[in-house]
Chain A
């Protein structure tokens, strides 16, 4: 297709949508699906058919609308309202032209002036809940693939890289490496064959941001990858997606087929000399495969064990070729940066952390779900205004970010701004976006033990500090859980923290002690209270 044809397709779809009296979006993300959103959608579709409303009213699926704890969520296009916990029968009232019918649902209508909605800023999730993720036309109608058209017809690869550098975008996969610099590294490597990989392995065991992006707006990720491929000089891309993410895999497969059919992927995209293909690689349930060198080994069909870096993947990656690896959310930020400009993006966030971050908010908060906020938003705002605070008279105890590589943030630090540096300074990390709230019923020793058990199970066994160290640390933490630990155990635990951090081969082992170190830092008394030889004698 040509650029003109893209605009025609956009306008045609916009006109078609404008002719509809109503379009009803039923959230079809994992959370709402398990609350029966499919039966709501089926009921609506059947009724539209039966009443002959085709061409006037349309029902479709959509990506995550955010407030997962109140599912199934349904959004109506004509008035922008979102309804929560609808039954199939109730949903049918939305089909009537008589406004009185709709008013019967007033009690189920969400207040969009609630801080949950007003405090958020959606860039990555801008389309989620507003388009049918199974339709390329919907994505194009929202301006999709225009950024790709722009870079291919108006920008040199160097200009694209400059734009991304100027935007200040940093990797959303955890480490926060500047994205533009990484692209430049790959671009500078000699050789014709280069690869672009999208890391969709999302390993943090309490997080589903990337999954929601893939399920809700898969074309956005493809477009971001294609722009990256043009910038670095790659013709082939891979998306490495978790095997557990069945729906995301289906949606991606469909999106790739649609993009190929419309010639938005493949040879001579927009009639230029640039060609790019994307293949899916399905993970098989190994956390360590989120680490970039392990991920590459896994795509090559081997056991997913990491290797020593350097050389880093930009120099020597997939099949020994220069390879760019970025996270799903990183790629999803690229098209809006190209369309709205680096300056726009850089105006959001803090000095060193630009743009927004998506968090999967869960645990002991009223509103659980998916939220996106500008970098630098105080943690308190996210948890208490957006999240609605801790329910039912329980007390806030700590927030955990960064999953098994992260740390716990106690109540006295709730005003910390959420950006890479501030979180690191207090012993946690931004991580990929898992944000779990713990109340006073949780034992911090138990939380540390939980994450250590995870790291122990997931250690690939290649390096000894991680393989043996996680087992030892887990064993000691179990002794604390059983109240059988001694002072010597506590000392050994602290010693092992340093050992793992400094001598492990990859990030898994290096960061495995983080949950222990941060709970020791802020909740040491909980460990000491469990010592058998603590001052004042045994229990």
Chain B
């Protein structure tokens, strides 16, 4: 989990790192003999390396696995786990599982949506990506958020606000 969130978009990294990542992706594909049915594994690896699946990356994978780009795009967009947008510096997920929901997860999501971005998108300053998850397995500690891969339990809106303050996330008027 932490690996994914620490990887930034290709543009922000040095040329050498890009090279390294392309090599690692190539290795993953060759390990699966460039078989089309390994598409999910390849997409997982690509997202882990690059943080998100850019159109260029998807086209490249389609070409290498000899699949129609529409198929690759179709699969990448079917699964919630894959993101086609670059992520922010931090990723904050609110658990919207049943236990967290009945213990006030909506209130936490409201704070994030008011101050950062809608669920599934990134704040305009690129600092925080907001997402939702379905039960992270810590229901006993509901409501739960996952902050950069770390599970935090019994979170109150006040505490979440304090954490966002620490990132100097400005209080914005309305989500736009």
What is the number of residues of chain B that contact chain A, defined by CB distance less than 8 Å?
A: 41
A226–B141 CA distance with the chains assembled, in angstroms: 35
Number of residue pairs spanning A and B whose beta carbons lie under 8 angstroms apart: 133
A460→B75 CA distance, assembly (Å): 12
Among B9-17, B21-29, B94-102, the one that faces the other chain is: B94-102
Compute how far the CA of A9 lies from the CA of B29 in the bound complex, rounded to whole angstroms: 38
Contact present for A31 and B141 (CB under 8 Å): yes
Q: How many residues of A contact B (CB 8 A)?
A: 53
**Residue in B39, B99, B133, B149 whose beta carbon sits within 8 Å of that of A301 in the complex:** B39
Contacts A34-B144, A34-B152, A243-B44 given: A300-B37 contact, CB under 8 Å?
yes
Instruction: Decide yes or no whether B142 CB sits under 8 A from chain A.
Output: yes
Query: Which of B101, B102, B142, B153 sits near A35, CB closer than 8 Å?
Result: B153
Say yes or no: B141 contacts A35, CB within 8 Å.
yes
Q: Which of A243, A287, A447, A450 counts the most B-chain CB atoms under 10 A from its CB?
A: A243
Q: Does A152 contact B (CB under 8 A)?
A: no
Contact A302/B44 with A206-B99, A206-B139, A436-B102 known, Cβ cut-off 8 Å: no
B151 closest partner in A (C-beta): A34
Q: B69 an interface residue at 8 Å Cβ cutoff?
A: no
Interfacial chain B residues near A317, Cβ < 8 Å: none
Decide yes or no whether A363 CB sits under 8 A from chain B. Answer: yes
Q: Are A31 and B39 in contact (CB under 8 A)?
A: no
Q: Does B171 contact A (CB under 8 A)?
A: no
Q: A68-B140, A244-B136 are in contact. Are A301 and B151 (CB under 8 A)?
A: no
Other-chain residue from A29, A71, A286 in contact with B79 (beta carbon distance below 8 A): A286
Q: Is the CB of B140 within 8 A of A362?
A: yes
Provide the residues of chain B in CB contact with A110, threshold 8 Å: none
Given A207-B135, A284-B40, A364-B102, also A304-B78 (CB < 8 A): yes
Q: A287-B134, A447-B102 are in contact. List 12 more A-B contacts (CB 8 A).
A: A30-B151, A35-B141, A68-B141, A204-B135, A205-B98, A243-B44, A243-B81, A246-B149, A282-B44, A284-B40, A284-B81, A362-B99
19 contacts between A and B (CB under 8 A): A31-B137, A31-B139, A34-B144, A71-B140, A204-B98, A204-B135, A205-B97, A205-B98, A208-B138, A211-B137, A244-B134, A246-B149, A285-B79, A286-B79, A299-B37, A362-B142, A363-B139, A368-B139, A400-B98
Residues of A within 8 A of B (CB): 29-31, 33-35, 67-69, 71, 203-208, 211-212, 243-246, 281-287, 298-304, 360, 362-364, 368-369, 400, 403, 434, 436, 438, 442, 447, 450-451, 454, 460
